[in-house]
Structure 1
Amino acid sequence: MGYPADLLGAGADAAGPPAGVSAPNPPRPVGVGPRAPTARALSVGKLRGLQQCADPKGVFVLLALDHRRNLRRLHPMFASEAELVRFKVEVTRELAPSATGVLLDPEYGAAQAVAAGALPGDRGLVVALEATGYSAEAMSGRPQLLEGWSVEKAKRMGAQMAKLLVRYHPEAPGAGEVEALVAQVAAECVRFDLALMIEPLVASGALFPAEKNRAAVEAARRLSAIPGVDLLKMEFPASPEATDEEAAAVCAELSAASRVPWVLLSAAVDFETYQRQVEIACRAGASGVAVGRAVWQEAAQLSGPARLEFLRTAARERLERLRAVVRALARPFTDFYTAEAPLGWYRAYSTYPNPNEEA
């Protein structure tokens, strides 16, 4: 597998990963090679959804654009709903070709990007279920699903995966309530055969780094054990002060704890920091990225031709660099799952309940 020489920087080898990233063993084809000891059987609909959100190797480069309140805080122009839609459509149009899928919200992004032709047909669509995006206020208290929106509607509109963001600490008094909500949503995704990604933001507060590390690992352990959860979108579990070796150990511990593949979100860190985190996480077992602001944040301060120029140059180059790292180092999601389609499978394949039929 080659890498575009003009995107890898000086001194990079176009036949390998970016400079400073040593190549692992040659990537194996999807579905070939050792699987996790506790590989799960996956339904055909969920498997197809994950395939459509990943590349042929089975790794994820997801462009995250489901931000709402936090995006409004980046610039006053986003007080306008029309500007929110314009931004999401423009970023999707310019960057989706460099991603394997795009994460959008149903309010201002998902249907609009499809209707505008901004989301290519060969890229996966992941749609958020929660009532709002990232903000300290929004993430306090019980997570809420977006009113008027559902797993069924996400499936009907053509999404390959649903995503639920929750603020979660495994030892907090409300942990059981969050787990119950995740189980409820996961059951709906099983019912409609839609892949599900859970994004647990670990409440840090005054936690010491070691405590937050343990909380992130335990969150992965507990939430990945819920039937119907197929993918985790995780924060970098190590503290900023951790050495690369310490960070790698924590990421490896998270990988060992999780029963499902996980991808690394970018939060608000700068791109160079995030690329380093991606390299560490993928070497330690992560299956890719779900990257937002680390790639496109500056575009939110721009408009018109200046925004498009930034997206077509700096932002696209960043995403291509991450894509090269992920393809070189990430673990395929197929290591975690098995799937079978015996003759006559369709007879036992569950169908959606018909509301017009009497019980």
Structure 2
Amino acid sequence: MSLTPGKLAGMKAVSNERGVIAAAAMDQRGSLKKSLAKEQGVADVPDSALEEFKSLVTEVLTRHASAILLDPEFGLPASKRRNGKGLLLAYEKTGYDAALPGRLPDLLDVWSVRRLKEAGADCIKILLYYTPYEKTAINDHKHAWVERIGDECRAHDIPFFLETVGYDVHGEDEKGLGYAKRKPEIVTGSMEEFGKERYGVDVLKVEVPIQMEYVSGTRAFKGVQAYTRAEALEHFRTSASSTHKPFIYLSAGVSNPVFIETLELAIESGTSFNGVLCGRATWKDGIAVYAKQGAKAFEEWLNTKGVENINNVNKALESAKSWFDKVDMKAGALV
């Protein structure tokens, strides 16, 4: 994989000195609004609450992260408080239109890669709901969409991070056993597809290829088995071998202990993952604190429990691999 000067600079800006991406994620919008409102027992919360929440998370956690992922809708004030760390900005609209089939994506109306870069972005992030099991016509729509964004990032010489999140098309519960058994193929198929050069993706932000609660022999196991521990390790290896691109794991809303055990399993499998973009596993439990006790209490929570959570992740990342090894550049360019 070759990197142009702008893409290389952007990648280095969001990585630590080892070439590992140890980034925090704070680009939640609709889901965060709903969670805050629920904890407050109200129908809605003002936009200012999201801006304050994001700013507090950013100011505290970027002291312990290589970068922060934010959205340009509510996160720009927070981007000024990131302690000199790298900045990824989201380009997609939050959520999807549930009335239409296929969880089709859409971009923010008044933003472009040019404008995101002008706002300070070192890298561009896109979220795409994707499964190889979807109808061909729908996936063709998504493929073309990603190609356009890849070309836009090439034109502005800025790294393109593509986050793929699987979903069900078989009428199964996405937290159930049936979906857990399909998940390895969904993750591997997504990585294989978007690792192709035509898309211009620089980093794949992916789910782990298993559901931890269905892995027997783990602390997260809840009694119903979809895979043995040995099978889970093999699923990690299979998905990792499906692409030559740098890839990082997302936390997908699981608790901090479960995410740490997940990373331990990835390390045990020997995969060449290059870091994380970790959001809710570090700050999710602070939502209730902010909603019920206010900003000061939340800041105190972040400085204690939030920092503990992100340091747990950082410790697990000591065994992550450098993306430098996947980039075709002269050694001096990486200094």
Decide: shared fold, TM above 0.5: yes
Deviation sequence 1:318-345 (CA, Å, 0-9, x none): 101211211x211111111112599xxx
Give the deviation of 1:293 after TM superposition: 0.8
Supply the distance in 1 between the matched residues of 2:283 and 2:328 (Cα, whole angstroms): 36
Supply the distance in 2 between the matched residues of 1:204 and 1:214 (Cα, whole angstroms): 12
Give the deviation of 1:140 after TM superposition: 5.5
Q: Give the aligned partner of residue 306 of structure 1.
A: 297
Residues 163 and 199, structure 1, Cα contact 8 Å, conserved in 2: yes
The residue identity in structure 2 corresponding to 1:235 is E
Residues 96 and 104, structure 2, Cα contact 8 Å, conserved in 1: no
Deviation sequence 1:103-142 (CA, Å, 0-9, x none): 0000000x2123xx41122x11000000115897899531
Deviation sequence 1:267-324 (CA, Å, 0-9, x none): 2211111101112224422111111111101211122221111100011011012112
The residue identity in structure 1 corresponding to 2:273 is A
Q: Give the aligned partner of residue 140 of structure 2.
A: 176
User: Aligned match of 1:113 in 54, 75, 78?
Assistant: 78
Q: Give the aligned partner of residue 240 of structure 2.
A: 255
Q: Give the aligned partner of residue 21 of structure 1.
A: none
| RMSD of aligned Cα (Å) | 2.1
Q: Give the aligned partner of residue 94 of structure 1.
A: 60
Where do residues 97-246 of structure 1 align in structure 2 (5 Å cutoff)?
Answer: 97-109=63-75, 111-114=76-79, 117-121=80-84, 123-133=85-95, 141-173=103-135, 174-205=138-169, 206=172, 207-227=178-198, 228-239=200-211, 240-242=213-215, 243-246=228-231
- Structure 1, unaligned runs of 5 or more: 1-39, 343-359
- Structure 2, unaligned runs of 5 or more: 173-177, 216-227
Deviation sequence 1:36-58 (CA, Å, 0-9, x none): xxxx1111111111111110100
Q: Give the aligned partner of residue 259 of structure 2.
A: 274
Supply the distance in 2 between the matched residues of 1:125 and 1:133 (Cα, whole angstroms): 22
Residues 20 and 321, structure 2, Cα contact 8 Å, conserved in 1: yes
User: What is the DSSP-based 3-state SS (H/G/I as helix, E as strand, rest coil) of the residue aligned with 1:79?
Assistant: coil
Supply the distance in 1 between the matched residues of 2:36 and 2:115 (Cα, whole angstroms): 31
Q: Give the aligned partner of residue 42 of structure 1.
A: 3
User: What is the DSSP-based 3-state SS (H/G/I as helix, E as strand, rest coil) of the residue aligned with 2:69?
Assistant: strand
User: What is the DSSP-based 3-state SS (H/G/I as helix, E as strand, rest coil) of the residue aligned with 1:257?
Assistant: coil
- TM score, norm. by length of structure 1: 0.78
- TM score, norm. by length of structure 2: 0.84
Q: Give the aligned partner of residue 324 of structure 2.
A: 334
Residues 53 and 295, structure 2, Cα contact 8 Å, conserved in 1: no
Deviation sequence 1:161-185 (CA, Å, 0-9, x none): 1000011112312111111111110
Deviation sequence 1:175-207 (CA, Å, 0-9, x none): 111111111100100010000110111113525
Residues 70 and 135, structure 1, Cα contact 8 Å, conserved in 2: no
Supply the distance in 2 between the matched residues of 1:41 and 1:247 (Cα, whole angstroms): 32
Residues 132 and 186, structure 2, Cα contact 8 Å, conserved in 1: yes
User: Aligned match of 1:61 in 15, 18, 22?
Assistant: 22
Residues 67 and 133, structure 1, Cα contact 8 Å, conserved in 2: no
Across the two proteins, how many residue pairs are aligned to each other? 298
Residues 67 and 88, structure 2, Cα contact 8 Å, conserved in 1: yes
Residues 165 and 206, structure 2, Cα contact 8 Å, conserved in 1: yes
C-alpha spacing 1:334/1:305, structure 2 compared with 1 (3 Å) = same
Residues 246 and 273, structure 2, Cα contact 8 Å, conserved in 1: yes
Supply the distance in 1 between the matched residues of 2:54 and 2:204 (Cα, whole angstroms): 23
User: What is the DSSP-based 3-state SS (H/G/I as helix, E as strand, rest coil) of the residue aligned with 2:82?
Assistant: coil
